[in-house]
Amino acid sequence: MLNDTITAIATAPLNQAISIIRISGKDTYELLNKVFDKDILNQKGHTLITGYIIDHNKNKIDQVVLACYRAPKSFTGEDTIEINCHGGVLITQKILQLLLSTGMRIATRGEFTRRAYLNDKIDLIEAEAINDLIMAENNTILKTAINSLSGKTRVLIDELSSELLTLIANITVNIDYPEYDGVEEKTINNVIPLVEKFLNKIKVIKEHSKITKTIKEGINTVIIGKPNVGKSSLLNVLLNEDKAIVSNEEGTTRDLVEGKINLGDISLNLIDTAGIRHTLNDIEKAGIDKSHKALNEADLIILVLDGSKDLSVEDKQLLEKIKHKNYLIAINKTDLRLKLKLDIKNNFNVVKVSAIMAEIENLILGIKNKIITTEINFDKELLFANTRQLAYLDEIELSISEALKDLKKNISIDLIIVHLQTAWNKILEMQGKKFETDLLDEIFKRFCLGK
């Protein structure tokens, strides 16, 4: 399959100004030459050429611009051409069918990026970042994806790998070449702080990456409260649309109402719940049961209280229910005379809003502060945002922790090397790199042992 020449439409399947059809493979120029009105067999890379796509009877189909690239200086590392044609759906499909008739085949999902990875044009983290960039719904994920694609992430992870490898190399030299005096002697006492420092670095990367992953997927945010406190109004203001029915009648919301909102750096998966109260209505009971389930699964809970009324028994029950969870209290109806009094320890969990006046700036700021609980430099830190990458971080942390545990047990230093080597291999695996290179080859690069 890797020897096939592949093609696919790279733009959306709708009528637009321009469509792009991408071709990649060793026969790209030869096959496209069959349906182009100019000879492009000797066309140089990184050039543009205008002409007509023609059918097998030499009839003109469309005037196009070809962006030509030659291997290995292309995205995939292969000969590549991008056809910029007029953007009608009919004309785009007609050109695609012509290309397929020459012997090309339709690319599978992600195959262009797969070939770029297999041809060492990008690593696995950069490949995943391409999809993150396309699917980004907030500025945070946009930043992290761009960092990966621009090479910043590769530099940072290479520095991490090199730091661990230097530690391994120093210990190995001490074990295998004790007579060599070009390296500081490594004992258990002076290795422990180095391993602890590296482990702490991994823990910070992991903590910040988990926050990044949560931001990427959207924070599951549940709006709760007793009936008629303004939950649905608040949801509608956040979404900037009339998603939920607003009524003075209690128990109007009897099922979960969901929506998604982008707050710049973060995205929220919002759920408006049925008002939680005691009721004899079976339908409303079912909605309240769903509210309790959503409450237990939420990343963040927004408890809405009516600021124009005294705290009720139901309000107190809800406050008790959320006290051990990640929550914000939104005191609503501040456009009316404030009557509610709260006796809670953490005032930073309380914000005042007026849903009817669309005054929710304090709530948005409070949400951001609750999610990004530690200072993260999304432009410069080494961050990972998907399950696969975080799983590798778990394995790396485990291996380094095992090494540290053995060191503190005074186990011989040459035995803990295995844990460090496992961690190093996992860093390479995370990038999709092979670790067939003998570790000693890397050691000899760092020291003049072989001279």
Residue 251 known to bind ligand: yes
Residue type, 390: L
User: Which letter, b or e, does each residue of 354-392 get, where b requires 16 or more Cβ atoms within 10 Å of its Cβ?
Assistant: bbbeeebebbbebbeebbbeeebebeebbbbbbeebbeb
Beta carbons of 19 and 7 less than 8 angstroms apart: no
Residue 451 known to bind ligand: yes
Residue 230 known to bind ligand: yes
Residue 33 known to bind ligand: no
- Spatial CA neighbour of 370 closest among 220, 171, 183: 220
Residue 232 known to bind ligand: yes
What are the tokens at 361?
């700036």
Q: Cβ contacts of residue 190 below 8 Å, gap of 6+?
A: 184
Query: What secondary structure, in 3-state letters, does 223-280 show?
Result: EECCCCCCHHHHHHHHHCCCCCCCCCCCCCCCCCEEEEEECCCCEEEEEECCCCCCCC
Residue 88 known to bind ligand: no
**Beta-sheet strand order (sheet of 267-272):** 257-262, 267-272, 219-224, 300-306, 327-332, 350-352
Q: Cα 312 to chain center, whole Å?
A: 42
Residues 90 and 100: their CA atoms lie apart, in Å, by 15
Residue 186 known to bind ligand: no
Residue 279 known to bind ligand: no
- Spatial CA neighbour of 268 closest among 366, 145, 377, 129: 366
Residue 247 known to bind ligand: yes
Residue 418 known to bind ligand: no
Residue 233 known to bind ligand: yes
Beta carbons of 136 and 215 less than 8 angstroms apart: no
Residue 228 known to bind ligand: yes
- Spatial CA neighbour of 61 closest among 29, 30, 88: 88
Residue 126 known to bind ligand: no
Residue 274 known to bind ligand: yes
Residue 24 known to bind ligand: no
Q: Which residues are annotated as a binding site for GTP?
A: 228-233, 247-253, 272-275
Q: Which residues are annotated as a binding site?
A: 22, 82, 121, 228-233, 247-253, 272-275, 451
Q: Which residues are annotated as a binding site for Mg(2+)?
A: 232, 253
Q: Which residues are annotated as a binding site for (6S)-5-formyl-5,6,7,8-tetrahydrofolate?
A: 22, 82, 121, 451
